[in-house]
A and B are shown apart, each in its own frame.
Chain A
Amino acid sequence: MRALTLTWEFPPRITGGLGMACYGMVKALLRLGVEVDLVIPADEEVYFALRREQDADSLPLVFADPTQQKRLGKKVTAKEMVSERIEFFDVYYTPAKKWLVEELVEYAPMDSSLEPLLSYLTDDHPLFRAVRAYTALAINIAKRLDFDIIHTHDWMTYIPGILIKGISGKPLVAHIHATEFDRAGGPGDRRIHDVEYIGMQSADRVLSVSDYTAKIILQRYKVAPEKIRIVHNAFTLQKAEKTKERMFREPLVVFLGRITLQKGPDYFLEVARRVLQEERNVRFVMGGRGDMEKKILYEAASLGQGTKFLFAGFLAREEVEQVLSAADIFVMPSVSEPFGITPLEAMSYGAVTIISKRSGVAEVVKHAYKVDYWDIEEMSSIILDLIRNPEKLREASRRSMEEVARLQWEEAAKKISNIYTELQEGR
């Protein structure tokens, strides 16, 4: 069984939870003997033939920050890691626009429902330009490969997924880690909704990371219920032994994530305000960037609480680990969170988590405080209770670590592998 896996993120190219989820999932699939041909955005026509579990850790570091790589001239290093390289050229210089439109007509017999994709492939928004480049890359690679299943992760990979399905006739899986409803906290971008809708409609199976997201898929995208499968994310323990490295004497309460409406940073700030009114023995830190960053920064400063509320800015992978290892309490007050993998990571460092009920992760963990994202009062009183009862905090921390150690990807991978078989057998 071989899956052609299209994803926008995979370590070391990573900006959010998607990359970590794909990583854990792919590793577990490899352990089950599923082979994965992985295509991530790249300036060179390159894919990764992953056959053994350790291959998932072998992506060259040149993918860490694609914007910093010179587009031409710098070849992918560590050739032995890239077992099958096809000829090298810069996708930005392919006449992708014209070619793709023809391709669409040729291979995806004109179903009127696919029509919007034509216009999005010629859209000049930078995001869509990136999608266009990725689409050209993925199709060129797919045409030369042999695979049984096309597995796409989130909307940016749906267009190539649909086209490759047209070319190869292989079954298409659309994996939903987040929808535009979650990201935008409102109606969102119509173009992205369209791509999501057409992607889900064209897919043979739609995988949802939570019951919560499955409801959205069912209600908002009108996907036929028999096509939907729920596959909860898990968490990959990178190191067996995680050490707690405190930064402050006071308990540290952490928010990590994009500072956008979806993640509820403003609720976190309100919670901090309430807690600090009653308790000095505590510190708050917010890590991440986003369009609400300035607003939150000025409001946090106006609390007039000195260094009690700090900002960590954008954090690289190992820096995230450093902050989590210093965290006593981790708060994820997301307004809408399809899954939300960071609380699991925080738990692995022994942080006690307070998570929004509107998240997929709330469906899989037991030892977390589950709250309504707007319930500032509840979150404040949980934090106050924990920091005033160190014994309770320690006990909760221990339980968190224990629980997350049990949450492994095996179960998810088994489900996915069964779905592949199901599709391969034409069921």
Chain B
Amino acid sequence: MLHLIFYFQVHQPYRLQPYRFIHIGKNHNYFDDELNRKIFEKVSDKCYIPANNLLWDLINQFAGRFKVSLSLTGTFVEQARQYRPDVLASFRRLAQQGGVEFLGETYYHSLACLFDENEFLEQVRMHSRLMEEEFGTRPVTFRNTELVYGDRISGLVSELPQFKLILTEGADKILNWRSPLYAYKSYSQRHLLLLKYYRLSDDIAFRFSDRAWTEYPLTAGKFVDWILKLPLVEKKKKNLYLNLFMDYETLGEHQWSETGIFEFIKHLPEYVLKRDFVSFSWPSEVMDSLNYEPEALSIPTPISWADTERDLSAWLSNSLQWNAVKTCYNILRRIKESERPDLLEVARKLSTSDISYYMCTKYFQDGDVHKYFSPYSSPEDIYIYYMNVLADVEKRLEDGI
């Protein structure tokens, strides 16, 4: 059997205001509420609402044989509560319908795993609690922010025994000759690893509407043909997993509705499900469907799904990013020592990885992607705003305000 595993990332960060030096000590509103609301509204109308409706219809139509998994960050859920309760309700409806697996991650979409292990565990626990409260489900599959994963992270996640599986990138440098279609195990054998099949995922996420692409336009029929031609598919004895991981905003936001992306998703299940050896699956079902002993992969250096490097360089390569991120975790630690719950929440919102992503200065083709996602005119500007905000938080901490 070949199992198609769809996982969509649902995330919105708290974007910062142009917070200037002269605001320090005077203004404690760090986030651009107006911009955040505007973006949330826009993406809700273009993506969340229509995409949720589509998923709901498909799950109904195929009586549960169509399955997807979603990972919703805490900062997304909070903003949905604030700006668009109807969006949150529509995710709840999907949860009640039972066709969606909800994944676990850090509440704040942070890179805490690299800087503060306790904070990481706390943010993951916070997120699990949120999933239980909002959707009545306790995640068993873990996906770290931006699919960042390495041996140490598997070790950390072991402290949360609810998690049996971890999703990450099928980066060439960890796979070498291996295929991302097999399930693997972490070096410690404690977790199953599902690896993103990046070529086919990115065909949908990035290339779908690219008119310069030789395969344009991509249709559901063509995509399923490619799947059927995947090497190893004919060896029917071993169950294989085609992991299609992408941003949920691909549907309608990164790829506009006019590109035909919704039609594509709408027709995919009928092409898939008419083959008797292809089906849809949730990540957690792999534990049961797995019919071989997976190979253990050791990944000493963390990988991610970002940029061509598939490493941490999107968030941590220049001096701005390092100083910004280290300072944030330093302040977080100090806040915890001094028991300031009000500041803790702020500092955690500031730990969202998008902020250092905006500070990225790797140009070439990835620069365009970073620019697309950044609401700021330059990496230098956001660095200046961010450090000023941190200085104000620090000041409030020290002055006890």
- With a cutoff of 8 Å between Cβ atoms, the chain B residues found around residue A310 in the complex are 21, 24, 384, 387-388, 391
User: Does chain A have a CB within 8 A of B327?
Assistant: yes
Q: Are A312 and B323 in contact (CB under 8 A)?
A: no
| CB neighbors of B among A238-291 (8 A) | 247-249, 285, 287
Kindly state the interface size class of chain B when it binds its partner. Answer: 20 to 34
- With a cutoff of 8 Å between Cβ atoms, the chain B residues found around residue A192 in the complex are none
- Give bound CA distance, A306 to B397, whole Å: 15
Q: Are A247 and B25 in contact (CB under 8 A)?
A: yes
Cβ contact of B399, chosen from A249, A294, A305, A313, cutoff 8 A: A249
| B18 and chain A: residue at smallest CB distance | A313
- With a cutoff of 8 Å between Cβ atoms, the chain B residues found around residue A285 in the complex are 21
- With a cutoff of 8 Å between Cβ atoms, the chain B residues found around residue A306 in the complex are 323, 326-327, 330, 390
| A319 and chain B: residue at smallest CB distance | B22
Q: Are B384 and A311 in contact (CB under 8 A)?
A: yes
User: Which of A98-106, A117-125, A296-304 participates in binding chain B?
Assistant: A296-304
| CB neighbors of A among B374-395 (8 A) | 380, 383-384, 387-388, 390-391, 394-395
Centre residue among B20, B21, B330, B387 by max chain A CB count within 10 A: B21
- With a cutoff of 8 Å between Cβ atoms, the chain B residues found around residue A301 in the complex are 318-320, 322-324, 383
Cβ contact of A248, chosen from B318, B327, B395, cutoff 8 A: B395
Cβ contact of B20, chosen from A247, A305, A312, cutoff 8 A: A312
User: Does chain B have a CB within 8 A of A206?
Assistant: no
Q: Are B323 and A302 in contact (CB under 8 A)?
A: yes
- With a cutoff of 8 Å between Cβ atoms, the chain B residues found around residue A214 in the complex are none
- Give bound CA distance, A310 to B19, whole Å: 12
- With a cutoff of 8 Å between Cβ atoms, the chain B residues found around residue A298 in the complex are 318-320
Task: Give 1 or 0 for each of B126-143: 1 = CB within 8 Å of chain A CB.
Answer: 000000000000000000
- Give bound CA distance, A313 to B322, whole Å: 21
- Give bound CA distance, A307 to B388, whole Å: 7
Q: Are A313 and B398 in contact (CB under 8 A)?
A: no
Q: Are B387 and A311 in contact (CB under 8 A)?
A: yes
- With a cutoff of 8 Å between Cβ atoms, the chain B residues found around residue A249 in the complex are 395, 398-399
28 contacts between A and B (CB under 8 A): A247-B24, A248-B25, A248-B391, A249-B398, A285-B21, A293-B380, A297-B380, A297-B383, A298-B318, A298-B320, A299-B319, A301-B319, A301-B320, A301-B322, A301-B323, A301-B324, A302-B319, A303-B323, A305-B323, A306-B327, A307-B387, A310-B21, A310-B388, A312-B20, A313-B20, A313-B384, A315-B22, A319-B22
Interface residues of B (CB under 8 A from A): 20-22, 24-25, 318-320, 322-324, 326-327, 330, 380, 383-384, 387-388, 390-391, 394-395, 398-399
Interface residues of A (CB under 8 A from B): 247-249, 285, 287, 293-294, 297-299, 301-307, 310-313, 315, 319, 322-323
* Additional A-B contacts beyond A297-B380, A310-B384, A319-B22 (14; CB < 8 A): A248-B391, A249-B395, A249-B398, A285-B21, A297-B320, A297-B384, A301-B318, A303-B323, A304-B319, A305-B323, A306-B323, A306-B327, A307-B391, A323-B22
